[in-house]
Structure formats: structure tokens, C-alpha cells
Amino acid sequence: MRLDTDPYLQRYATRVRGMAASEIRALFSVVSRPEVVSFAGGMPYTAALDFQAVEDVVVEVIRDHGPTALQYGGGQGLEGLREQLVDVMAYENIAAHTDDLIITVGGQQALELIAKVFINPGDVIVAEGPTYVGALGAFSSHQAEVVHVRMDADGMIPESLAETLERLAADARRAKFVYTVPNHQNPGGVSLSVERRERIAELIEAHDLVVLEDNPYGLLDFEGITWPSFRELIPDRTIYVGTVSKTFAPGARIGWVAAPGPVRNKLTLLREAADLCPSNLTQMIVETWLRRQPWQEQVKRFREVYRERAETMLRSLADEFPEGCTWTDPRGGFYVWVTLPRGIDTSDLLAKAVNKRVAYVPGRGFYADGQGGDQLRLCYSYPTPERIREGVTRLGELLHDELELVRAVYGGDAPDTHGPTRRHDHDSGVAGRGG
């Protein structure tokens, strides 16, 4: 038996055969070193929580409800928590009833369960390009074919969606759902404009589709603006996913789905098969947090922290990044999406960046078809403003050096790195031309 091959390979289900830890993930172990400024992981700044208040809540749950908190619960999740989450949704002007909700282990489990309910191998899912890497993981583990729709500064482009849906219809195919992160998108850092939401809702209806609306960042608008939800526009066609990961703490692992009754029932059955029920302990902690603490104040505090960090990052990018780089202008959330000039491959560049003690996520991971080689995601939520300046300066220096190299090698004819092919896969031809 050779040691470098997986001896179980032939026994696996087809859905996991192509799955492997990426070289990028391997680099992430380096990224957690303190000397590296990491713009990689999308981590909330949990240090901004009021820990005395959290402690009070945890003590109260154990002291007053210990036996229930440490017991099994129902598959739909605790009613008391669902009541509180209805209020959280109302704070964003989204109407829901306690019965509409099912509690999940973060938004991620919600995406996985929804994928499991809807996707047969080969089914089409339409999603923004780029899109949330965890959603791509959930969809691809059920062997979906993800088709991307283009985005710009106002989010998903309705004309691109219309074209995609028509092309699919011409092939007698219909998407199982359209996946979107309309507010402060991960990784794009852009929000879907109000007019586009209406237009996209019309397209969803016209093509008899459903939309999967994933909304972790809606409450983190820097101005406190709330955006209209698809759940409001087309409730019968919307499966809505929420999470407390970005407004309270990801360690609680509490998310939820608001979905029409029949879908909710299927989700509950599948969740019972997966993990029986969510944790009563963390559900009761989150319920008590929402019921007893001024959580809206905590959300405002997070907003202020992220707003300052976003401003610092944008200012540093303008000061430090070479000409020809472009980036999005987030109005909330955690992310800036950067596009580099021709000739640099962000997957190849990552090792050099980590060597210079700064990390990001290369763009390719956010597309199902391997586009995005000239793009990268920067997350500003976790490092302090000072570290952000340091990190952007390091990355800016690296980019200046790399672009100089690209110019020296290729002159004005640098290769296009956006497409699915890695630069060195077609290097020889281009180098021959460019000298």
C-alpha cells in the first residue's frame, strides 16, 4: 500500500471523492502566528463583547435552568429562542412568526441542510460570483453545479441573472434555487441596491424559482440602514437564513432558517438525522442574552468597531496599493474585495505574502469554476486599526515589487490571470511573446 494515497478512496461515496484540503488551508496554520497580520479568516472581533454581561447570562442559565439547559431538546429548537429571533428579524423590518423558524448550528448548518433538501447530483444552483466559500462547500458536497451571476458595486446584476436563467431555460434546465448574500456580501463587500432587489424578485417569480437569502451581516450596516429583504418581497419563494455569529458570537453556533412550512418540515427531519437537536445550553444562553441584555447596543458597538476598521483599511489601500488595483467600498460587514492588474496570480502570491507576514484569501476559492485568480479578499473585522495599516503596507510593498517584475518580464502584455487556468499552466506561450 502506498502511503501517499488514501487507502479508503474506492470505498467513499462519489460526493466526497473530489474533496481535498486545499493548499490554501495548509497555509492557514501559518497565518495564526502572531507576527502575521491576517486579513484571511472572517472572524468577528469577539473581544468587543461585554463579557460581564455574557457571564451574567451564562450564570443565570445554569443557576436557574440547569437541568433543562443540559438536557436534549426538540429538533426545531427552543420556542423561547425562536421568539427572541423573531424580534431580531423585526429589528431589520422582516416579519416572521415563531413557528416559521428552525434553529440550526450556525448559518452554515442551515446552508448544508437546505442543500440536502433540494440538491440532487448535477442540479444547478445560481449564485453571485464571487460567493461565500462555505455555501460553495455545502452545495458541492451535494454535487451541485454552481452557475455564477456577475456582480458590480450594487450587487448581483439583474441582466446577468436574466441571461443566465434564459440560457438555462433554453437547455431545459431550471435552477433549484438562487443563492444570494444581499447585505454586505461575503466576499464582495457590496450590497444589493433596492431597485435590483425588486427586479430580481420579479425574475425569481417569472421563472418560478425560490431564493436562498443568507443574511449574516444585515445588522452591521455602518449607518444602521436596514435593507428590504426577499422574505418581505416574495415570502413564499424565500428561504431565509440568519445567524447570531456576527451580532453576538460565532462560538454560540446558533443560526436559523425561516422557511415556508413544508420546507421547514423537511429541514427538521434532516436535522434530526444529522444531530438530533441544537444545543439547549447555547440556545438558552442566546435566548437570555437577547431577552435580558441590551443586545441592540452591542450591535451598535460592533458596527462602530467595524466601521473604523473598514475606514482604516480603505485609507491604507488608497495610500499603499499600486496604481491599477481596484477594490470595493463596503458600507457594512467585514470584507473588501480587491482586483489586481493583469499578470499577478493571487493563489501563487499568497506564500510570498505570508512570508512578508500578511495573509489574505485568494479569489479562486470564491468561485465554483476557478475564476478569480487576479482577485483576493481582505477581511478587516479582526485586526486592530494599527495592525490593518501594517498589513496593508506589507501587502502594498509586495504588490509594487511583483508588478515591477511583471512589467520587466512581460512589458505591456502581461497574462490575464482572472480565468480558471493558473498562470504557470500557460506560461510558456506568453513568456515567448512577452520576452
What order do you get walking across the sheet with 155-156 strand by strand? Answer: 101-104, 255-258, 238-243, 211-214, 177-180, 124-129, 145-152, 155-156
Residue 230 in the binding site for ligand PMP (CB under 6 A): no
Residues from 107 through 126 that contact ligand PMP (CB under 6 A): 107-108
- From CA 400, how far away is CA 333, in angstroms rounded? 28
Residue 132 in the binding site for ligand PMP (CB under 6 A): yes
Q: How many helices (H) and strands (E) does the chain have?
A: 15, 14
Residue 243 in the binding site for ligand PMP (CB under 6 A): yes
* Candidate residues 74, 80, 134, 370; the one interacting with ligand PMP per rule CB under 6 A: 134
Which of residues 330 and 341 has its CB atom nearest to ligand PMP in the complex?
330
Which one of 91-99, 105-113, 322-330, 382-390 is the stretch in contact with ligand PMP (CB under 6 A)?
105-113
Which one of 25-33, 45-53, 101-109, 140-148 is the stretch in contact with ligand PMP (CB under 6 A)?
101-109
Min dist. Cβ of residue 106 to ligand PMP (A): 3
- From CA 149, how far away is CA 152, in angstroms rounded? 10
Look at the block and give the residue holding cell 426538540: 74
Look at the block and give the residue holding cell 418581505: 232
Which one of 104-112, 136-144, 219-227, 311-319 is the stretch in contact with ligand PMP (CB under 6 A)?
104-112
- From CA 30, how far away is CA 10, in angstroms rounded? 32
Residue 332 in the binding site for ligand PMP (CB under 6 A): no
Sign of the CA dihedral 74, 77, 80, 82? Answer: negative
Residues from 10 through 49 that contact ligand PMP (CB under 6 A): 42
Q: Count the neighbouring beta carbons within 10 Å of the beta carbon of residue 424.
A: 11
For residues 53 to 72, the per-residue mask of contacts with ligand PMP, x marking binding by CB under 6 A and - elsewhere, is --------------------
- Closest by CA to 186, choosing from 285, 322, 44, is 44
Are 105 and 253 spatial neighbours (Cβ–Cβ below 8 Å)?
yes
Residues from 159 through 218 that contact ligand PMP (CB under 6 A): 181, 186, 214, 216
Min dist. Cβ of residue 381 to ligand PMP (A): 10
Residues from 246 through 265 that contact ligand PMP (CB under 6 A): 250, 255
Which DSSP category does 120 fall into?
A: P
Interface residue list for ligand PMP (CB under 6 A): 42, 106-108, 132, 134, 181, 186, 214, 216, 243, 245, 250, 255
